[in-house]
A and B are shown apart, each in its own frame.
Chain A
Amino acid sequence: MKISSWLSTVIIFIAAILVLFPVIFIFSNSFMDELEFLERYSIDESDSGAFLKLSLIPDNFTLQRYIRLFTQSPIYLRLFWNSVILVVPILLGQCLISPLSAYAFEFMLWKYKEILYYVFVVVMLLPLQILLVPHFIVADWLGINGTYWAIILPGIFNPFGVFILRQQLRGFPKECIDAGKMDGANEWVGFRSIVLPNMKPAIAALCILTFVEYWNIVDQAIIFTKSYFQQPLSVYLSRIVETDPGMFFAVSSFYMVPAILIFAYGHEHLAQGITLSGVRN
């Protein structure tokens, strides 16, 4: 074996451990009981030389956190549900709208389409805080201030989806569409039966990334929600650290599960879907 491949193996191995460690830490600590948690993670900050005692394997394995999460503390489930009803409409909306416009952008002959596309990319890159006042203005027009729709509607039209899908379409052989048109296919048929079936990885990637983005929503939620009970769990997690620290690990692990399931199901598509397929030519 060459030195370079041996060295690479070591480097990637270390990188993989660094990547996995925090996740494993959170998950394994969720099985720790209250006493051990206090013993390990509450220290007197003024006492110099006192350190937290990190652990990956709890001394006493217990499910009591999860039992409390599912049977005694409905607040966490309620906030989890908040996250769900925020993400699902955005996901559906993105999947309906973005493929059509990515297709239009790629195959349009309009001279100035790249300028319009540039506007899409600029909006995509703006930090959300720049859009605070704009989003507030629209929410005011539509009378949806203080409701989730103030976050959902702009989310549906987030140009990120168009960007991701168009990156993929750039590599799509135009001849296929032209050949289809020779046979009398119109744009809709071309989209429906030639392009769409080939866009599956990209659409899967779009779904995963959109889900991840809004499952991890923070910026908009801290501005547009009025009470803690209205917040998605992604924001409230940092409060649990202060109010109910022992529950943090279990609630966090529970909150990771949907994201990990979606990733496990679609990671192949994700890798394919975010890369540029058009670079070849």
Chain B
Amino acid sequence: MKRKSEFVLWIFLLPSFMGLLIFYVIPFLMSFYYALIDNMSNKSFVGLRNFISIIGNDVFRRAFFNTWLFILLSVPIGLILSLFIALCIDQLPKGKRMSATILMLPLIIPSGTIVYFWKVLFNSGGLINKILYTFGYDYRDLGQGQWALGVMLLIFLWKNNGYNVILFWAGLMWIPEEYYEMAEMEGASFFQKFRHITFVYLTPTTFVVILMSIANSFKVFKEIYLLYGNYPTSNLYMLQHFMNNNFMNVNMQNLTSASYIMFLILAVIIAILFKLQRHVSITIG
């Protein structure tokens, strides 16, 4: 009986399992071949030399630095902002659901449809500069130079904050009211309550928020590409640009070695998150 139903479950799993193998796992493993050859015409084996050369490659380093800098900024800032907004929604006297819905709207707006808005906001003749100018500051094209990454961070928050707010807000609703009442009777302060009740019970949600935020951080490439094309200012040159441009130049060895480095780092991060998550759910449960 058990064995039979297990077999049926395997059949349920089979389509996506096969799809994952055929379209993702097997070709990804096969692409390792390109990381080990010198170029696409010669195709002679060079061992790990491509990896050494790419680690020394200035463009790769720049792209790698920018990408991780963006993730290290966007994930924590996004986390804190969305938790804050979720706590605000929870405090609203009415209209909680409607507020949460409105805040989710940017999620569904295609990036391309508002590129012009970001342009009129951040370009040298744009609204932000007009305000800066009015107050006597110098103005510049904010999409270039040192502010570029900050601009992208704002766009990222605009687009993805709502999703995280929903996750946190739902997480808040599941915390039993009695816990707070009990803590209040014992004279706990707001921060004690937050630290010992809210924070603990939101941990599983936080893992999902972190996972989704990492995935969404990579998707900010859409906005960067739509605004500035294949070659943006060096502060916005991401690994995605590096990979796309190497693909266009048929430099598969650069592209695949960069892919494998990135893949390894992500796999380790996700493995750590999974371990932590299991640890936490055992502690709470």
Interface residues of chain A, those whose CB is within 8 Å of chain B, are 1-2, 4-5, 7-9, 11-12, 15-16, 18-20, 22-23, 25-26, 41, 43, 45, 49-52, 54, 96-98, 100-101, 103-105, 107-110, 114, 116, 118-138, 153-154, 156-157, 159, 162, 167, 181, 186-188, 191, 208, 212, 215-216, 218-219, 222-223, 233-238, 241, 245, 248-249, 252-253, 255-256, 259-260, 262-263, 267, 270-271, 274-276, 279-281
30 contacts between A and B (CB under 8 A): A5-B91, A5-B92, A12-B85, A22-B114, A25-B117, A49-B133, A51-B125, A96-B15, A101-B15, A118-B271, A121-B211, A122-B266, A129-B240, A129-B243, A132-B244, A132-B247, A132-B259, A134-B27, A135-B23, A137-B27, A157-B20, A162-B16, A219-B222, A219-B240, A236-B112, A241-B116, A249-B116, A255-B110, A275-B166, A279-B174
Q: In the complex, are the beta carbons of A134 and B24 less than 8 A apart? A: yes
Interface string of B265-278 (1 = CB under 8 A from A): 01100110010000
In the bound complex, what is the Cα–Cα distance between A181 and B171 (angstroms)?
32
Closest to A245 in B: B116
Q: Which residues of B contact A1 (CB under 8 A)?
A: 93
Given contacts A100-B15, A275-B166, contact A252 B211 (CB under 8 A): no
Q: In the complex, are the beta carbons of B208 and A100 less than 8 A apart? A: no
CB of A16, distance to nearest CB on chain B (Å):
5
In the bound complex, what is the Cα–Cα distance between A259 and B106 (angstroms)?
11
Closest to B113 in A: A252
* Residue B239 lies at the interface, judged by CB distance under 8 Å to chain A: yes
Closest to B139 in A: A48
Q: In the complex, are the beta carbons of B9 and A104 less than 8 A apart? A: yes
Interface residues of chain B, those whose CB is within 8 Å of chain A, are 2, 5-6, 8-10, 12-13, 15-17, 19-20, 22-25, 27-28, 30-31, 34, 85, 87-89, 91-93, 97, 99-120, 123-127, 129-130, 133, 158, 162-163, 166-167, 170-171, 174, 201, 204-205, 208, 211, 214-215, 218, 221-222, 225-227, 239-240, 243-244, 247, 252, 255-256, 259, 262-263, 266-267, 270-271, 274, 285
Q: In the complex, are the beta carbons of A50 and B125 less than 8 A apart? A: yes
Closest to B1 in A: A181
Q: Which residues of A contact B263 (CB under 8 A)?
A: 122, 126, 130
In the bound complex, what is the Cα–Cα distance between A52 and B263 (angstroms)?
43
In the bound complex, what is the Cα–Cα distance between A127 and B242 (angstroms)?
12
The secondary structure that dominates the B interface is helix
CB of B148, distance to nearest CB on chain A (Å):
17
The secondary structure that dominates the A interface is helix
In the bound complex, what is the Cα–Cα distance between A219 and B238 (angstroms)?
13
Q: Which residues of B contact A16 (CB under 8 A)?
A: 99, 102-103
